[in-house]
Amino acid sequence: MGANRYQVVDPPDDLQRDDLIQRLNENAFKEPFSKATSGETLGWVNLHNLCVTEFSSEDSAYSQYLCFALRVDNKRLPAKLVRAELELRADNWMKERGADRIPSRVKRELKEQLELELLPQQLPSVNAHDICWDLANHRVWFFSNSRKVNESFRHRFGQTFDLDLVPVGVVGAMGRHPLVDTWLHRLDATGHSDYRTEHRA
- Give the global pTM: 0.76
Q: Is the CB of residue 162 less than 8 Å from the CB of residue 156?
A: no
Tell me the HSE value of 147 on the side-chain side, using a 13 A CA sphere: 0
Tell me the HSE value of 111 on the side-chain side, using a 13 A CA sphere: 15
Instruction: Give the dihedral sign, CA 147/151/156/157.
Output: positive
Q: Is the CB of residue 50 less than 8 Å from the CB of residue 69?
A: yes
Task: Calculate the alpha carbon distances from 97 to 88, 104, 114 in Å.
Answer: 15, 15, 20
Structure confidence at residue 170 (pLDDT) = 58
Structure confidence at residue 25 (pLDDT) = 97
Map residue 179 onto helix, strand or coil.
coil
Q: Where are the beta strands (DSSP E) in 39-189?
A: 39-45, 61-62, 65-75, 125-134, 139-142, 164-168
- Cα–Cα dist 83/87, whole Å: 6
Structure confidence at residue 193 (pLDDT) = 52
Q: Encode pLDDT of 55-100 as tens digits.
A: 999 999 999 999 999 999 999 989 999 999 999 999 999 999 999 9
Structure confidence at residue 38 (pLDDT) = 86
Query: Can you give the residue ranges of every domain in the chain?
Result: 4-75+124-168, 79-120, 169-201
Q: Where are the beta strands (DSSP E) in 46-186?
A: 61-62, 65-75, 125-134, 139-142, 164-168
| Greatest Cα-to-Cα distance within the chain, rounded to the nearest angstrom | 84
- Cα–Cα dist 74/86, whole Å: 22
- Cα–Cα dist 35/27, whole Å: 20
In order along its 201 residues, the chain shows pLDDT tens digits of 688 999 999 999 888 999 999 999 999 999 988 887 888 999 999 999 999 999 999 999 999 999 999 999 999 989 999 999 999 999 999 999 999 999 999 999 999 999 899 888 888 999 999 999 999 999 999 999 999 999 999 999 999 999 999 998 755 555 556 666 676 666 666 665 554 444 444
